[in-house]
Structure 1
């Protein structure tokens, strides 16, 4: 067994998904020495670049929220500023009641501010139900409430089933009637606390956004795929002197004295002044159990949803697609796919890679919906083709197909998730030189994951300063030599 010694300011980051890489990048900017350990054979986690029929595509997440600064900021700082791209079209549809219908404008995660422009998506009764909102007594939300439960009480179940559910399902692959409003849609939660009328609250959110002059794109992508972001971040980490070891599973994490950590991985023992745990909840629980059993127990309780992405390439001449970037599918309509993206329409660079090829992506799988994911890849392709034929009239045979499965890929945020995260962080913060980050804590989107990494590094700042003070006095130092 080999051993790696550490000097003050050595931080081990466990996990090389976008959160772990963002943490490593920030730590290096602050002068720390960084080692990143990743069990898989590649970096990037759920961000995965690929290709189909010679066209570069994303086989994982394909866009970043641009009205938060973290993801776009990281892309710029790792050399991808010139590759940032806005969608060529953001016009999307809802496949409901047997037709593709325009996605209503002016909503917050599917919750409308008015009842206008909802005919067709909702029944006449559903539209009338929204208009009752201003006459209803206040619905208390308490410390938290399920999005679907609250919205249904204010605006009726149709709004949840045909608007909120497909939008939330696209982000969390979850059930709107279980997902926490406080954690998943904090703007809406704040509005629900401040207003008796939900539609008034939504209109206030929209007015504030307009007053803040939030112009510009809501989302951005990267030419060649968002999957390039972790690759560029890893390259930047290495260029700054950081070490990234893939195929290196961490099997042990133990405290060593009052101000240090011992990390066992891949036949090596690394000593660190601080550790950032940036892996999904089950792996994090296993690592934290010896030193932070209460945090591990909370992480054990986090549930995950699995999903699959089906990427299809068609000859353009035979693939007439409807206008727009794609469509969402309400589960209430009994379809199998939950969304389709016309990638060649949405991203100009995809269409330009090969003008004769059209790329379409579908997604299947929701929380606790395991039957469909039991099908083999060929069946998932046929299921997607069936739904694309029914929704968009796309009857051509694809030139190629790829199925990417994300087993236990998306953490679920049930009611009370914010309190669970607070308890985890309190338990972890009690151990000097330890922090956690990733999709399980503050949001599953790329900017949220990066923000959680930034918060983890900020938390460690004081711990690292304390370590430097200790190591300035050799009698007290636990990390003064060349290691074991």
Structure 2
């Protein structure tokens, strides 16, 4: 047996889905001495943590950072030899585009919820009366917003801090991160522990402050000089891009002897004596253990014949998202007019993007690679309540034209076709898990059904919650329990 390959314990496992959760599940299985195969329908590994080449630059085509509220991603990166590549964003802060103009986002917030309603940046966004209403939060009983079994982000924020915090801070952030109306999202899924924090600390603002204090693990580089942490900096990235995490993870799996099969879609699943049969094209794979790491609707559709009770818990598909990447030769952007990027309030007229990331302003390593005067802009489109609007019937070219208009408006610097060195459009169909109100209860039922089905485990963002930090931590926890 070659060094690094899986020891032969006689146990076998099949992982369906080659996104980050599937690859990580395979690593945990192989580490337990289980002969593991991963099936991926597409040609690439990593799912939403992908890459593309634009103007000769290898860029992230999906996730480009991870939340630092836990050490889950940083720990994985370290295990894969990437600890020295973890970087904090440039401390320029992020902005929000409101109907009456741009404002800086609060320095310390969660989902746009401020830790201090009287912070100057918060007051500029809310006005005196808005900050006054938000500050009443600390005088409300801790039971307000925390006693119901389920509640939405908007219901919690409106009850404790009022309408202006919801509309001017929370809606833009939630729309940019989750492509959804906060009135539809389960707060316990998208901000786990926040309601418990209210009960512990006495107010929503105090709960937010406590969560932010726990988010400094990977951002110490940006605050070591004594600077106050800016909005958008409770994240970290990897020098070279987040896609390098996938490259390192795939290399690690190959060293461990995991069989990686791409371009192979699982068509059906059947229970068999001692395990599972999975049909994929003209081949059937047999394994004692089955891990399904697909999006929620696809996972339930694949398993509903083998586990019929799952059909009643099929979640809604997440929103479709389009990401337009522009590489521009525009020295006027060297001054970072909107910091690391800007989120767009849904009520803002004339702008169809939900967010713009100024990637070369956010990541110093990328600015060095791009060179002086060259900038990378990422504009995202698509919200839960509507279709991707900017392209109309014009396809990618229509999205490109819309992105030029939106970038010009958001950055206050004209961005024209003549400035563009290269561009690309990447689409993600239903990629963001839609954590609707009550979804936490659905997840509990799904996991209960799986626990009662021998040799079966489901993992992925639709169960863990959105974001790399949630997916990595939850996948490892679930595999640990599964393998006991």
TM-score band w.r.t. shorter chain: 0.7 to 0.9
Compare relative contact order (CA 8 Å, sep 6+) and give the higher one, 1 or 2.
1
**SS of the counterpart of 2:21?**
helix
CA distance in 1, matches of 2:17, 2:65: 22
**In 2, are the aligned partners of 1:93 and 1:103 still within 8 Å (CA)?**
yes
CA distance in 2, matches of 1:136, 1:453: 37
How has the CA–CA distance of structure 1 residues 293 and 373 changed in structure 2, closer, same or farther, with 3 Å as cutoff?
A: farther
**SS of the counterpart of 2:193?**
helix
Aligned partner of 1:149 among 143, 152, 155: 155
**SS of the counterpart of 1:40?**
coil
**SS of the counterpart of 1:100?**
strand
How has the CA–CA distance of structure 1 residues 415 and 192 changed in structure 2, closer, same or farther, with 3 Å as cutoff?
A: farther
State the partner residue of 1:419.
Answer: 441
State the partner residue of 1:9.
Answer: 11
Give a deviation string over 1:121-159, Cα, whole Å, max 9, x none: 113332222133344455243112101111112211110
CA distance in 1, matches of 2:20, 2:480: 17
State the partner residue of 1:85.
Answer: 87
State the partner residue of 1:223.
Answer: 239
How has the CA–CA distance of structure 1 residues 382 and 120 changed in structure 2, closer, same or farther, with 3 Å as cutoff?
A: farther
State the partner residue of 1:103.
Answer: 105
**In 2, are the aligned partners of 1:89 and 1:345 still within 8 Å (CA)?**
no
> Residue 170 of structure 1: CA displacement?
2.3
Q: Which structure has the larger Rg?
A: 1
CA root-mean-square deviation: 2.3
Aligned partner of 2:428 among 392, 402, 406: 406
> Residue 106 of structure 1: CA displacement?
2.4
CA distance in 2, matches of 1:41, 1:214: 34
Give a deviation string over 1:11-51, Cα, whole Å, max 9, x none: 10100000000011111112111100011111111111112
How has the CA–CA distance of structure 1 residues 373 and 34 changed in structure 2, closer, same or farther, with 3 Å as cutoff?
A: farther
How has the CA–CA distance of structure 1 residues 74 and 198 changed in structure 2, closer, same or farther, with 3 Å as cutoff?
A: closer
State the partner residue of 2:131.
Answer: 127
How has the CA–CA distance of structure 1 residues 115 and 452 changed in structure 2, closer, same or farther, with 3 Å as cutoff?
A: closer
How has the CA–CA distance of structure 1 residues 53 and 213 changed in structure 2, closer, same or farther, with 3 Å as cutoff?
A: closer
**In 1, are the aligned partners of 2:333 and 2:413 still within 8 Å (CA)?**
yes
Q: Specify every segment of 5 or more residues in structure 2 that has no aligned partner in the other structure, as ranges.
A: 1-7, 223-233
CA distance in 1, matches of 2:58, 2:76: 22
CA distance in 2, matches of 1:232, 1:208: 27
Aligned partner of 2:385 among 368, 374, 392: 368
CA distance in 1, matches of 2:208, 2:469: 23
Number of residues of Structure 1 aligned to a counterpart in Structure 2: 454
* 1:31-110 paired onto structure 2 within 5 Å: 31-110=33-112
Give a deviation string over 1:259-308, Cα, whole Å, max 9, x none: 3111212322221110100011122112211121222331x233311111
> Residue 437 of structure 1: CA displacement?
0.3
Farther-moved stretch of structure 1 (6-15 vs 47-56) = 6-15
> Residue 215 of structure 1: CA displacement?
4.6
> Residue 373 of structure 1: CA displacement?
6.2
State the partner residue of 2:284.
Answer: 269
CA distance in 2, matches of 1:294, 1:161: 39
**In 1, are the aligned partners of 2:461 and 2:471 still within 8 Å (CA)?**
yes
TM-score (norm 1): 0.88
**In 2, are the aligned partners of 1:341 and 1:361 still within 8 Å (CA)?**
yes
